Structure 1
Amino acid sequence: MKVLILCTGNSCRSQMAHGFLQSFDANITVCSAGTEASGKLNAKAVKAMAEIGIDISGHTSDSVSKYLDEEWDYVITVCGGANEACPAFVGKVKHRLHIGFDDPSHALGSEEFIWSEFIRVRDEIKAGFRKFYDEQIKR
């Protein structure tokens, strides 16, 4: 089973989704990429995942072009930008899904509010990808 998770910057939401899906089942090959990859991870996303025992600090922020020629069981977009700008895959893709989430890195306000947005989105990603895993993969 191979799953590619796409976002725009590949620094936050796709990285958290990657971490969760891999934590649910180590036998799944999970990769994440960005249509405009930032080349770095969002420090608050790394911290939010570490807080619940999932280490994504070793992940890399990669361009989707790295994966275009591969075959995928699932390609999942997690943000509106990636959903709209998702490239046509040359390789075989069995299922293309969109499971969208707000971008906590765009939150404005106090540090406490911004942190609460990272936690909220992290928890929504966990729930969304747990549902996907239970309904599409584990069954």
Structure 2
Amino acid sequence: MTDRIYNVLFLCTGNSARSILAESILTRDGASRFRAFSAGSQPKGAINPFALKMLRACDYPAEGFRSKSWDEFAKPGAPVMDFVFTVCDNAAAEACPVWPGQPMTAHWGIEDPAAVEGTDVRKEAAFNAAFRYLKNRISVFTALPVGSLDRMTLGSKLIEIGQLQGATRPRPSAA
């Protein structure tokens, strides 16, 4: 058994909702084996209050998060990522920075709960669904014997996780 801790980066466009939820879930549920981070291609600069409300309601960490650019993780001196997961279709279609260390990547897209309009009850329901889908993916991921799988098998498993219930499809990038 290895004592290695793997670095995982969750990416979304705004880094205000889905990627924050995923970072918090992995921070708590994978604390002994994984270190979670999140970032966005065009960070909003603030965390969506419904994301924080959802995390608190489910007893997950909700403090200390900030909306930040993915460029922070491509700079010299940044933590080297072992895994990079896009949780938003827009981010999956964008040209990502070159990540030091050649991390394994996969798309785990789900609908954007922050895009839901209407009553607070509708918004809370959307955040609840996003939380459940991300928690399910992260539970499957943390159960993988990461250190004992070859890169090809692990890559296939990561893609399968992204196709679990609630999956969206990335939009094609503009040519």
Q: 1:104·1:118 contact (CA, 8 Å) conserved in 2?
A: yes
Q: TM-score, normalised by structure 2?
A: 0.74
Q: Does 1:65 align with 2:74?
A: no
Tell me what 2:171 maps to. none
Farther off after superposition, 62-71 or 6-15:
62-71
The one of the two structures with greater contact order (alpha-carbon pairs below 8 A, sep at least 6) is: 1
Q: Does 1:80 align with 2:89?
A: yes
RMSD over aligned CA atoms reads 1.7
Q: Does 1:120 align with 2:158?
A: no
Amino acid in the other structure paired with 2:126 = E
Q: Which deviations, in whole Å up to 9, do the C-alpha atoms of 1:2-27 show, x marking residues without a partner?
A: 11111000000000000011111223
Q: How many Å separate the matches in 2 of 1:111 and 1:53?
A: 20
Q: How many Å separate the matches in 2 of 1:90 and 1:128?
A: 22
| Match among 102, 105, 120 for residue 93 of structure 1 | 102
* Structure 1 residues 34 and 4: CA distance shift in structure 2, 3 A: same
Amino acid in the other structure paired with 2:59 = G
Q: How many Å separate the matches in 1 of 2:15 and 2:115?
A: 14
The count of corresponding residues between Structure 1 and Structure 2 is: 139
Unaligned runs of 5+ in 2: 1-5, 149-175
Report the Cα offset of residue 90 of structure 1: 4.4
Q: Does 1:21 align with 2:26?
A: yes
Q: 1:8·1:36 contact (CA, 8 Å) conserved in 2?
A: yes
Q: Secondary structure at the match of 2:97?
A: coil
* Structure 1 residues 48 and 107: CA distance shift in structure 2, 3 A: same
Q: How many Å separate the matches in 2 of 1:117 and 1:99?
A: 17
Report the Cα offset of residue 117 of structure 1: 1.0
Q: How many Å separate the matches in 2 of 1:86 and 1:57?
A: 30
Farther off after superposition, 82-91 or 16-25:
82-91
Q: 1:75·1:93 contact (CA, 8 Å) conserved in 2?
A: no
Tell me what 1:2 maps to. 7
Q: How many Å separate the matches in 2 of 1:138 and 1:119?
A: 32
Amino acid in the other structure paired with 1:57 = E
Report the Cα offset of residue 98 of structure 1: 0.8
* Structure 1 residues 123 and 26: CA distance shift in structure 2, 3 A: same
Q: How many Å separate the matches in 1 of 2:20 and 2:99?
A: 23
Report the Cα offset of residue 108 of structure 1: 1.9
Q: 2:71·2:97 contact (CA, 8 Å) conserved in 1?
A: no
Q: TM-score, normalised by structure 1?
A: 0.91
Q: Which deviations, in whole Å up to 9, do the C-alpha atoms of 1:72-95 show, x marking residues without a partner?
A: 110110000111114131412230
* Structure 1 residues 110 and 136: CA distance shift in structure 2, 3 A: farther
State the percentage of identical aligned residues.
27
Report the Cα offset of residue 44 of structure 1: 0.3
1:93-112 to 2 correspondences below 5 Å: 93-112=102-121
